[in-house]
Amino acid sequence: MGILRLRHHLLPFSQTVYLEGKADNSQEDASCIRVPSVIIDGPSLVYNIFSRLLSWFSLHSATPIDALPTSDEISKGVMLYLLQLKLLGVKIEKIYFDGALPAEKHETRVLRLENSRRRLQLFCTETRHGFKSPKHYRGYRAIHLESILCSRPLLARYKNLPNDPFMVPTVFEDLKLRWNKEAICQIARDILPVNSLDLEDFPWATITTMVSGEADSYCGSTAKLTGSAVLTNDSDLLLYDLGTDGSVIFLDSIELTAPDPRQSTQCQLRASMLRPSLVALRLGIPNLLSFAYVLKTNPELGIAELLQRSKNTQEAMEASLNYQRFAREYQGDAHSRQVMNSTQQIQFLDTRISELFWQYELPFAYMPWDSPRMYLPILNEDHTRQCAWIQGRSYRNLGYSLLNISRLPNERHTRVTEFIRRGQRIVEDTLLLSNEESIAAYTKILCDRLTSIQVEFGISNNSPQFWRIFALFDLYISGAESTSRGIQGLARFLSLGYMGERLEWTDLHLAAQVQSILYSLRILRQLIRFSELSNGLAMRLDSLLETLPPLHIMMAPVCLETREYIFSIRIDQFSEIFMQLLARNRSDYRGAAEQTMEIELSREEDVSGDHVGTNVVRSYKQSSNIYELLQEQ
């Protein structure tokens, strides 16, 4: 989040630079500073692209929901951004993504979740009467260079829109697995002269790295090693040791300058750069840490007073424990670096799953508390209803349990604590982990259900529509969702993205519940690789879940996905099959649910003696869906 007003105070010391790999003879000012190589703070770039796309999409949006960029659009924007840097000859050293945040960041993370919750609440209040049918549901929106490289003010009515909760893991996944030469050319050929580039098959896969810690420290150390500039919007990067030549360029300062922004061959990228070593020299201080510490404790002071205090109290300040604790945050993460090269398997994990892994791997750095934690993002859901993360809860539990039993007995835990929205609060929600017997039972039933739906609907599980249908079926069999519009409304939802005559919060909440189930299955799929089940069940489930769509498809608005993968089942046929499956499965699974409830309640009694925490609420109810046994009241 950065230190309040740090950037404001230091911006007068910035230099105008051009992102450019080799000198341009046509450039008027031959003395301008060129930046030939960069390191990119991955999450910061994603949020920057989201903000810029939102500001441009809002120009032609009938409703706020229409203006929100999708994960797919954000990923395309990032790809075009990186491609433009390559056209200009800028070398990208690394693109870093957070793989785990230290325990000290807990309060900051809860605060971020609370801020997101408040934005959602405000958005729900302002749009409680529903929306017009979003325009972009009728087709895909073109993304031009100016929409990602030119800033424009955002109208006040759009400033409280919630972020896309899946955009960062989507971009990371796509840089690794989606953006090969063929996919890049297909999207960019009408926007950039891609034929003039010597593209590798996956040009950014090897330089995109999920680090075992915070991206900031890795950006800083690589900048010191290479003398490159870090592209970020996080002012904290100014406080790392970037060496003599390392610098920071704020992403929101980068602007496309050209006679016609659509002519990429004539483009230049102008930006403002801060070199911490040079700024500290001009301020007459050894580094910016002491200045930042005084600012953090006295945010109301002007720069002159801040400088005076940081100089006069330098020795006393550096001796204080509070300052040492503050400075330690910007001195790298030695623990995670020790094991970075030995854990390449995490390079394809989702960001949140990576963090869960590191809590087991390095508990002294990432898990000083008594159980692993999972911080689930705020979904774009109806704030007045139960949190959509309750759906899919048992799929996540199964994944957590598989990871847990893969560890040595002394490294295992009895629970995982999730942080989710409950009403108008962010709360802890405890999931009791299962033993091998329960895991095997859950796994078999899930495999059977997936196979049954595939056979009955006659849809390949390679189709994203199969997974949407599965999620809806899961919601209805558990009794979590029942609409007055009936099953035919679901068929309309699969085709249009809404069940009635226009988009309402009922539809958005249903979409969020579907996202929750699919993302929970994704967590389960990625954690299966750590499984040590020897009965073949894990291999069978892994094979079934292998066809889960990538995030840019999985989290797309339902109607956009339908345009690419035609929903081929007639409404009456869909309704008949759906009702038959519901009737059959409700009776089949009720008995299994009751048996499993007995197992879980006995385990609750076993671990209740060591349960700590007054703000954790656990409640159970009998459910007809074995996967929702832990569903709260």
Query: Based on the domain organization, do 582 and 566 belong to the same domain?
Result: yes
pLDDT for the residue 352: 94
For the stretch 595-607, pLDDT in tens is: 454 455 555 555 5
pLDDT for the residue 24: 55
pLDDT for the residue 341: 46
Most confident of 1-10, 329-338, 624-633: 1-10
Query: Based on the domain organization, do 170 and 191 belong to the same domain?
Result: yes
pLDDT for the residue 333: 54
The verdict on residue 343 lying in a domain is: no
In the predicted structure, residue 631 carries a pLDDT above the cut 70: no
Per-residue confidence at 626, pLDDT binned at 50, 70, 90?
very low
pLDDT for the residue 629: 39
Burial code (b: 16+ CB inside 10 Å, e: under 16) for 467-483 equals bbbbbbbbbbbbebbeb
Query: Based on the domain organization, do 450 and 513 belong to the same domain?
Result: yes
In the predicted structure, residue 480 carries a pLDDT above the cut 90: no
| Structure tokens belonging to residue 205 | 């896969």
52 contacts 148 by C-beta, under 8 angstroms: yes
pTM of the entire predicted model: 0.90
Per-residue confidence at 136, pLDDT binned at 50, 70, 90?
very low
In the predicted structure, residue 566 carries a pLDDT above the cut 70: no
For the stretch 428-461, pLDDT in tens is: 999 999 999 899 999 998 999 999 999 988 888 8
The verdict on residue 7 lying in a domain is: no
Query: Based on the domain organization, do 144 and 64 belong to the same domain?
Result: yes
Query: What is the mean pLDDT of the segment spanning 317-346?
Result: 70
Distance CA 392, CA 487 (A): 21
Domain count for the chain: 3
The verdict on residue 348 lying in a domain is: no
Query: What is the mean pLDDT of the segment spanning 310-325?
Result: 83
In the predicted structure, residue 541 carries a pLDDT above the cut 80: yes
Query: What is the mean pLDDT of the segment spanning 558-568?
Result: 54
pLDDT for the residue 478: 73
pLDDT for the residue 267: 82
In the predicted structure, residue 618 carries a pLDDT above the cut 80: no
In the predicted structure, residue 543 carries a pLDDT above the cut 80: yes
Among residues 426, 436, 452, 481, the alpha carbon closest in space to that of 631 is found at: 481
pLDDT for the residue 622: 32
Query: Based on the domain organization, do 247 and 393 belong to the same domain?
Result: no
Query: Based on the domain organization, do 187 and 255 belong to the same domain?
Result: yes
Residue type, 628: E
- Mean pLDDT, the chain, whole residue set: 85
Q: Express as a percent the part of the chain with pLDDT over 90.
A: 59
Distance CA 211, CA 338 (A): 12
In the predicted structure, residue 125 carries a pLDDT above the cut 70: yes
For the stretch 102-113, pLDDT in tens is: 898 999 999 999
Which structural domain range is residue 393 located in? 369-531+538-628
Distance CA 136, CA 138 (A): 5
The verdict on residue 362 lying in a domain is: no
Which of 328, 343, 359 lies at the terminal end of a domain, its last residue? 328
The verdict on residue 32 lying in a domain is: yes
Among residues 590, 375, 579, the alpha carbon closest in space to that of 486 is found at: 579
Query: What is the mean pLDDT of the segment spanning 405-431?
Result: 96
In the predicted structure, residue 378 carries a pLDDT above the cut 50: yes
In the predicted structure, residue 473 carries a pLDDT above the cut 70: yes
Burial code (b: 16+ CB inside 10 Å, e: under 16) for 146-157 equals bbbbbbeebeee
| Structure tokens belonging to residue 305 | 């007073």
For the stretch 157-186, pLDDT in tens is: 888 899 999 999 999 999 999 999 999 999
CB atoms near residue 458 (< 10 Å): 11
In the predicted structure, residue 619 carries a pLDDT above the cut 60: no
Beta bridge partners of 16: 272
pLDDT for the residue 609: 45
Distance CA 196, CA 183 (A): 16
The distance of Cα 223 from the centroid of its chain, to the nearest Å, equals 25
Among residues 97, 94, 79, 60, the alpha carbon closest in space to that of 148 is found at: 79
340 contacts 211 by C-beta, under 8 angstroms: yes
Query: Based on the domain organization, do 213 and 301 belong to the same domain?
Result: no
In the predicted structure, residue 620 carries a pLDDT above the cut 70: no
Among residues 313, 268, 274, the alpha carbon closest in space to that of 290 is found at: 313
Among residues 238, 194, 195, the alpha carbon closest in space to that of 216 is found at: 238
Query: Based on the domain organization, do 416 and 312 belong to the same domain?
Result: no
| Structure tokens belonging to residue 6 | 């740090």
Query: What is the mean pLDDT of the segment spanning 72-95?
Result: 97
Query: Based on the domain organization, do 575 and 602 belong to the same domain?
Result: yes
pLDDT for the residue 630: 35
Contacts of 370 (CB under 8 A, 6+ apart): 413, 610, 612
Lowest mean pLDDT among 220-224, 398-402, 580-584: 580-584
Helices (H) and strands (E) in the chain, counts: 26, 12
The verdict on residue 397 lying in a domain is: yes
The verdict on residue 569 lying in a domain is: yes
Query: Based on the domain organization, do 464 and 613 belong to the same domain?
Result: yes
The verdict on residue 340 lying in a domain is: no
What separation in angstroms does the CA of 447 have from each of 444, 522, 537, 589? 5, 15, 8, 13
Query: Based on the domain organization, do 551 and 598 belong to the same domain?
Result: yes
Lowest mean pLDDT among 123-132, 462-471, 606-615: 606-615
Query: What is the mean pLDDT of the segment spanning 272-293?
Result: 95
| Structure tokens belonging to residue 328 | 């330690």
Give, as one character, the DSSP assignment of residue 329. Answer: T
H or E stretch covering 519: helix 505-528
483 contacts 497 by C-beta, under 8 angstroms: no
pLDDT for the residue 62: 79
Q: Identify which has the larger pLDDT, 31 or 432.
A: 432
Query: Based on the domain organization, do 505 and 561 belong to the same domain?
Result: yes
- Which CATH number do you get for residue 235? 3.40.50.1010
Query: What is the mean pLDDT of the segment spanning 288-304?
Result: 94
pLDDT for the residue 141: 85
pLDDT for the residue 259: 58
Most confident of 20-34, 36-50, 119-133, 533-547: 36-50
Contacts of 483 (CB under 8 A, 6+ apart): 489, 490, 499, 506, 510
Burial code (b: 16+ CB inside 10 Å, e: under 16) for 222-255 equals bbbebbbbbbbbbbbbbbbbbbeebbbbbbebbe
